[in-house]
Amino acid sequence: MTRGSIPEGDGRPVGVVESGEHADTAGDRGGHSSSHHGRRRGREGQDGCCEHPERALSGPGPGATPRVGCRARTGLSAVDPRWVGEPATAVAAVGAGLRALHDALPVADCPFDWSVPARVAAARRRGIRLPVALTEGPVVDRLVVCHGDACCPNTLIGGDGRWSGHVDLGALGVADRWADIAVAAMSTDWNYGPGWERALLDGYGIDADAARMSFYRDLWNAT
């Protein structure tokens, strides 16, 4: 994947995507699991993250494969106690950060596929039998480079209350933006309690789409 920047709220680059060795791997951050499944796996068994961003940005070597790297940023997880105590600020930041990521990364240059067919095939390889209703998704609204695990804990928020970065990018790939939006909105209930989905959609800048949200949540939970 070619280099691309993910601008922060003030326009400064937060992340980059370029070719090189896979980013360093690590376990859960701060004990926060991104979903009820625990930490999700990335590209066929890899855990992708940006815990050591400067090392992740080291130059490409022989036989290098595309990967995601991040610049070092300050910020706390959106589920840090500070932000759990300020859910309106946190949820708005998560939505805005997800929109910025979707708008910034070039779909044409992304070699990773997170579409419904790709996810169904990956599930089958893991021995997961999906109901027929989950094997064909809704008509695509907008193709973007999705985060792949857009649950709230994977957004970092700076001291000013705006998003400052993303972590856990091991499942990043091209898909309908609702594959991310649906999961991000669903995770507000786990992390802040009921009633925050609308605020996340407002932060992203989109109206609810009940059919797409329902499908992508069911697919997430099934896989």
Closest CA to 149 of 122, 167, 164: 167
**Domain limits at 20?**
5-222
Predicted local confidence at residue 154, as pLDDT: 96
Predicted local confidence at residue 74, as pLDDT: 74
Select which of 47, 149, 168, 180 is catalytic.
149
Residue 149 annotated as catalytic: yes
pTM of the model: 0.75
CATH of the domain at 159: 3.90.1200.10
Predicted local confidence at residue 71, as pLDDT: 58
33 three-state secondary structure: coil
pLDDT in tens, 74-99: 799 999 999 999 999 999 999 999 99
Query: What domain count does the chain have?
Result: 1
Would you give the DSSP letter of residue 32? B
Q: What is the mean pLDDT of residues 176-185?
A: 99
pLDDT in tens, 6-64: 544 444 334 433 323 323 222 232 333 333 333 344 443 333 333 333 222 222 333 43
